Structure 1
Amino acid sequence: MRILYLDLDSLRPDHLGCYGYHRNTSPNIDEIAKEGVTFTNYYCTDAPCLPSRSALMSGRFGIHNGIVGHGGTAADMRREGPSRDFNDKLVHESLPGSLRQLGYKTATISTFAERHSAWTFNAGFNEVLNVGAKGHESAEKVLPVALKWLEDNRDTEDWFLHLNFWDPHTPYRTPEDYGQPFAGDPMPEWLTEEVFEKHKQKVGQHSIDHMNELAVSHYFRWPRHAKPIEQFNDLRLIIDNYDCAIRYMDDHVGQVIRKLEELGVMDDTAILISADHGENMGELGIYSEHGTADRGTCQIPMIIRWPNGLQGKVDEGLHYHLDLAPTLADLLGGANAPSWDGKSYAGSITNGAQTGRDYLVFSQCAHVCQRSVRFDDWLYIRTYHDGHHGFPKEMLFNLKDDPYEQNNLAEERRDLCKEAVYLLNEWHDEMMSTMEHDVDPLWTVMKEGGPFHAKEFKN
């Protein structure tokens, strides 16, 4: 069987039609969702880009593999040390490496490894195709490489292709001649003038104030971002550009799907659609950035169209993105690798079983240092370094009533904060007791001067 993994950078699920978005951003992705299972509470364990993909491909939390940031010691995967064999564990225990053990040809079309000097990301791939723009390429640069690879491998029965599109990653650089497909569409209802005025008062990375600085210092290179956000109606510039990038990318995803149909292999191809992280669009007063351990940054889409799997099914269970490796192993008759932290959710795909976790813990150490607990309807965020945002030590949000994280209930609901801290400590105890090291890389980031991008912002 063939497996296509569409890794769509910075894609938040609630800006897709199949997740209920009011704009027509994703017609091709939506069609795939009709033929598969859509996961609505799917989170990356470690954000943003480098920690997230390192966790996904290694199958291990950042606290275990050592990568939780974008610079310093905590941006390199931990060495195995004296126990290292002739080959390291990634040869067989990385996500692509495990598939190679099952006879799969594995390939990645991505510039990610070069962008972040994340060479361990390439472990386990037979082929690495790098178009050379370090994540600054738009979909039209990636698509021809993907279509050629599919043509060249039309007669290969068992392959896994990781295909990475970057368009929703800040800045949203859709070619100008694509136009403004959402210029007449209403913005998300929750973004009111009252919310806008409140957010204008915030100072910090990727606040409206900071976005206006970036428009002058950096984003002028991309015409869609050159205008500062001064009035409420200007805010639609950010929303429209992000949605435009999704629609542009979706058009290219559609061409990949049509190529599979043209080659006659669509029925035998599993299609997985996900992301490395989301993108804050006003959550915590932050726009066009993925710099916190919150729902906006850490919740990601996952859509799985599996041959002979369920169709049109929605799974609301709590899952991590690193659960993918054991899930694929389960579906393909393989075995779990000893180092994996994930848990299979294959039953959700094949028979609708409830495979979700009781709670999740996820982290961010590139822009801030935070760990968060997602349980029931609640999100608890504990801040160790605020990234010059002024965040309090504890934040608590009811995601059912307040999905965009505008009302911090930490002072009102001390009982729930205590419950969350208990869950966080349980997770931390398990993590520290199941690794060879005694150093938590979050504290490595703190002792090396704080999050990489916070140092950049301060300077």
Structure 2
Amino acid sequence: MRVLMFDIDTLRSDHLGCYGYQRNTSPTIDQIASEGVRFDNYYCPNAPCLPSRASFITGQYGIRTGVVGHGGTAADLRLQGTNRHFTDDFSENGLFMQFRRAGMHTVSFSTFAERHSSWWFNSGFNECYNVGGRGGESAEAVTPKVLDWIERNGSADNWFMHVHFWDPHTPYRAPKEFGNPFKDEPLADNWITAEVFKEHLLHIGPHGANEINMWNDDTNEKWPRHPGKLSTIEEMKEFMDNYDCGIKYTDDNIKMIIDFLKQKGLYDDDLAIIVTSDHGENMGELGIYGEHATADEPTCHIPMIIKWPNGKKGIVAEGFHDNVDLLPTIKELLNTPLFGNHYQYDGKSYAKTILNGEDCSKEAVILTQCCHVCQRSARFNDYVYIRTYHGGYHLFEKEMLFNVKLDPHQLNNIAGENPDLCAKGAKLILDWVDEMMKKSDYSIDPLWTVMREGGPEHARGNLATFIDRISGTKREYGIPLLRKMYPNG
């Protein structure tokens, strides 16, 4: 058996054709979806990059692994403690190790481990190819390495290949010569009207239209597709185009790999393919552009597409799942044993969905973000309920509720008129926290570790500078609100 995983950074599912996007960003991915199972409501439970992949690899939520942030104590996997033996249970029971246990030769093309000093990510791989860009590379640095490996090793049986593309991640970096295939094409969903964009220009907080570079409007000639600010609707549209260019450029590189496999006679019913992402992207939602900064629908809704030998073809699984579910699913599909007696997965296998089309979904999923803001959310029915503990110097209300079916871009906070739905969302979060803390070997929820250490990593220490930046501008109305909301800086 051969398994190929495309791990595409910062990929919003609603910017793929197979998820209903009107632009032609993903013809190759769309074709793979037609040959397998597409999961419609699949979520990243711990956003963004580092926390997401920690939950993805371990099959446990960040509240148990300890990884919910990008800095401080909550950026490292917790130690196993006294019941650790010669090796630790995270390494032995992780996602990639399952393919090794099933007798496959495993290879990864990724710079993720170095980017976040998270070397546990490489556990289970026989080979790791790091092109050295720390996530700043584009696909043309990765694809030739992949094709070379297939040329040398692809005809062998039993391999697993992990291919990590960063191109949709900020800063958007499809090569200049790629151009803009969407230049003369309107936005697929033109929800950012002149009135909405006017409000965005008054937004308080990082990564708004005035500060694409998070806290300022600096630019870097290395990233010509990533402006410092957006002043007009036309500039906003070009920015959206460049995100879609990153997706299309990635899809083109996936096509190169798929075409090479077909040329070598290796693309057949026995080849399994997994296409997924670590998180999505705010593209104007909540006033934020070009960042994966919240525990909401655009940041946490991710694609999951699985083409599996003898699996269902061309079906859609509509229920709720999240990325801790993949590991127990792979274990069931490969029939691999658990290492030790202590380890517990938080996820729920959906192997029967892949093989038989059975519904293996959950009632709801709980989402956490502690890198740019500290939020915990419940995604249930047609709603996302968001509870903010630290707004990252945005002026978010403590409770937000959006009907994402009717309002996918979260323009109308309906929390005030729906206390019953807010109560349901809050109870879902509370019950989930209780359940996870009972399973945890630690007595502290790492969300509160982040709060005690000064708040989310990407906001920490920037309030005074930001206040200086907006002083004397149309946004200075926010200064007293910021000081009231964040009295400790």
Alignment of 1:212-251 (within 5 A): 216-226=217-227, 228-251=229-252
Q: 1:254 to 1:104 in 2, by over 3 A?
A: same
Alignment of 1:386-405 (within 5 A): 386-405=391-410
Is the 2:219–2:226 Cα contact (8 Å) retained in structure 1? Answer: no
Q: Once the 2 structures are TM-superposed, how far is the Cα of residue 107 of structure 1 from its aligned partner?
A: 1.7
Is the 1:36–1:310 Cα contact (8 Å) retained in structure 2? Answer: yes
The residue number in structure 2 matching 1:435 is 440
CA-based RMSD? 1.5
The residue number in structure 1 matching 2:471 is none
TM-score by length of 1: 0.97
1:147 aligns with 2:147: yes
The residue number in structure 2 matching 1:77 is 77
Is the 2:42–2:323 Cα contact (8 Å) retained in structure 1? Answer: yes
Q: Deviations over 1:125-155 (max 9, x none)?
A: 1111101010000000000111112222223
Q: Once the 2 structures are TM-superposed, how far is the Cα of residue 335 of structure 1 from its aligned partner?
A: 4.3
The gaps in structure 1 that reach 5 residues or longer are none
TM-score by length of 2: 0.91
Q: Once the 2 structures are TM-superposed, how far is the Cα of residue 90 of structure 1 from its aligned partner?
A: 2.7
Inter-partner Cα distance in structure 2 for 1:221 and 1:435? 44
Inter-partner Cα distance in structure 2 for 1:43 and 1:185? 29
Is the 1:205–1:457 Cα contact (8 Å) retained in structure 2? Answer: no
Inter-partner Cα distance in structure 2 for 1:374 and 1:272? 24
Inter-partner Cα distance in structure 2 for 1:291 and 1:395? 15
Q: What amino acid is aligned across from residue 163 of structure 2 in structure 1?
A: L
Q: Deviations over 1:192-228 (max 9, x none)?
A: 2122112111121111121277784244431222464
Q: Deviations over 1:246-297 (max 9, x none)?
A: 1111100001111211222211211110000001111111110001000110
Q: What amino acid is aligned across from residue 116 of structure 2 in structure 1?
A: H
The residue number in structure 1 matching 2:386 is 381
Inter-partner Cα distance in structure 1 for 2:438 and 2:223? 48
Inter-partner Cα distance in structure 2 for 1:83 and 1:301? 36
The residue number in structure 1 matching 2:138 is 138
Q: Once the 2 structures are TM-superposed, how far is the Cα of residue 42 of structure 1 from its aligned partner?
A: 0.3
Is the 2:211–2:228 Cα contact (8 Å) retained in structure 1? Answer: no
Q: Deviations over 1:161-185 (max 9, x none)?
A: 1110000000101111111110011
Alignment of 1:132-211 (within 5 A): 132-187=132-187, 188-211=189-212
Q: What amino acid is aligned across from residue 451 of structure 2 in structure 1?
A: M
Is the 1:281–1:287 Cα contact (8 Å) retained in structure 2? Answer: yes
1:42 aligns with 2:42: yes
What secondary structure does 1:208 align onto?
Answer: coil
Q: What amino acid is aligned across from residue 398 of structure 2 in structure 1?
A: K
Q: Once the 2 structures are TM-superposed, how far is the Cα of residue 326 of structure 1 from its aligned partner?
A: 0.9
Name which of 279, 285, 294 aligns with 2:281: 279
Is the 1:92–1:101 Cα contact (8 Å) retained in structure 2? Answer: no
What secondary structure does 2:231 align onto?
Answer: coil
Inter-partner Cα distance in structure 2 for 1:175 and 1:159? 31
Inter-partner Cα distance in structure 2 for 1:35 and 1:456? 49
Q: Once the 2 structures are TM-superposed, how far is the Cα of residue 333 of structure 1 from its aligned partner?
A: 2.3
What secondary structure does 1:81 align onto?
Answer: coil
The gaps in structure 2 that reach 5 residues or longer are 466-489
What secondary structure does 1:455 align onto?
Answer: coil
Q: Once the 2 structures are TM-superposed, how far is the Cα of residue 457 of structure 1 from its aligned partner?
A: 4.0
Residue identity (%) = 52
1:101 aligns with 2:101: yes
Inter-partner Cα distance in structure 2 for 1:256 and 1:213? 35
Is the 2:66–2:446 Cα contact (8 Å) retained in structure 1? Answer: yes
Of the structure 1 ranges 139-148 and 197-206, higher mean CA displacement relative to structure 2 is found in 197-206
Is the 2:44–2:301 Cα contact (8 Å) retained in structure 1? Answer: yes
The residue number in structure 2 matching 1:420 is 425
What secondary structure does 1:430 align onto?
Answer: helix
